[in-house]
């Protein structure tokens, strides 16, 4: 039986440090780390490797429920996969309750549903902010590289073909086409 940790943050700009520090402190021998959204378990390579690695009697430690899943279906699927392998799972924000017990399962399901709701609320707030910014006339995409677009037009007017322009300026062909369309 070994203690295995799982940590996740949603983006490369976020730090895994505090989660790793906690799991090291409680004696996790192996820690799997993902830097990807928790909306789906299918795109989390380390989570899937951890599920394949664990053996009967192992215990997976996670600092918070929403680190392992952001929707109830995935949360329950992951719990079922671990339970089928005889692996325990402890969420330290739930007071180290065994989620494979009947009471633990109810608590885990409820907390997972709240995590899913919070994720949807975050998305709603982001979408509202984008809509307000767009209505205010703010550019939400990348700012056009005016100098690059000017150089593309100059080279095209000199007779250079679009593929060669893209290669010589080290930009994509779609950038060349976009610059020439304006």
Distance CA 81, CA 83 (A): 6
- Model pLDDT, residue 12: 82
Please indicate whether residue 110 or residue 131 has the higher confidence score (pLDDT). Answer: 131
Which helix H or strand E contains 47, and what residues bound it?
helix 45-53
Residues 164, 104 share a domain: no
Q: What is the DSSP string of 129-167?
A: HHHHHHHTT---SPPP-HHHHHHHHHHHHTT--HHHHHH
Cα separations (Å) of 9 from 6, 32, 44, 48, 66?
11, 12, 11, 16, 10
In a domain, 42, yes or no: yes
User: Which residues have a catalytic role annotated?
Assistant: 10
Residues 162, 73 share a domain: no
159-165: average pLDDT: 94
Cα separations (Å) of 175 from 76, 159, 180?
44, 18, 9
- Model pLDDT, residue 77: 86
143-166: average pLDDT: 92
Residues 20, 108 share a domain: yes
Residues 98, 171 share a domain: no
Residues 45, 94 share a domain: yes
**If 0-12 CB within 10 Å is exposed, 13-18 middle and 19+ buried, where does residue 60 land?**
buried
Q: How many domains does one find in the chain?
A: 2
Q: What is the DSSP string of 82-120?
A: HHHTT-EEEEGGGTS-BTTSHHHHHHHHHHHHHHHHHHH
Residues 94, 12 share a domain: yes
- The answer to whether the pTM exceeds 0.85 is no
- Give per-residue pLDDT as tens, 15-63: 999 999 999 999 999 999 998 876 666 678 999 999 999 999 999 999 9
């Amino acid at each position: 039986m070994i203690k295995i940790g799982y940590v996740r943050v949603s983006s490369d700009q976020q730090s895994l440090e505090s989660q790793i520090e906690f799991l090291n402190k409680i004696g996790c021998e192996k820690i799997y780390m993902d830097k990807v959204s928790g909306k789906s378990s299918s795109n989390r390579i380390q989570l899937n490797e951890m599920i394949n690695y664990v053996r009967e009697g192992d215990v997976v430690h996670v600092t918070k429920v929403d680190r392992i899943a952001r929707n109830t279906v995935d949360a329950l699927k992951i719990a079922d996969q671990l339970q089928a392998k005889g692996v325990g799972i402890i969420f330290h924000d739930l007071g180290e309750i065994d989620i494979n017990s009947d009471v633990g399962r109810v608590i885990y399901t409820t907390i997972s549903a709240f995590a899913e709701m919070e994720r949807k609320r975050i998305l709603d707030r982001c979408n509202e902010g984008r809509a307000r910014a767009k209505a205010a006339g703010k550019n939400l995409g990348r700012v056009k590289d005016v100098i690059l677009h000017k150089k593309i037009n100059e080279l095209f007017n000199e007779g250079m073909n679009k593929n060669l322009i893209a290669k010589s300026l080290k930009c994509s062909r779609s950038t060349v086409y976009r610059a020439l369309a304006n």
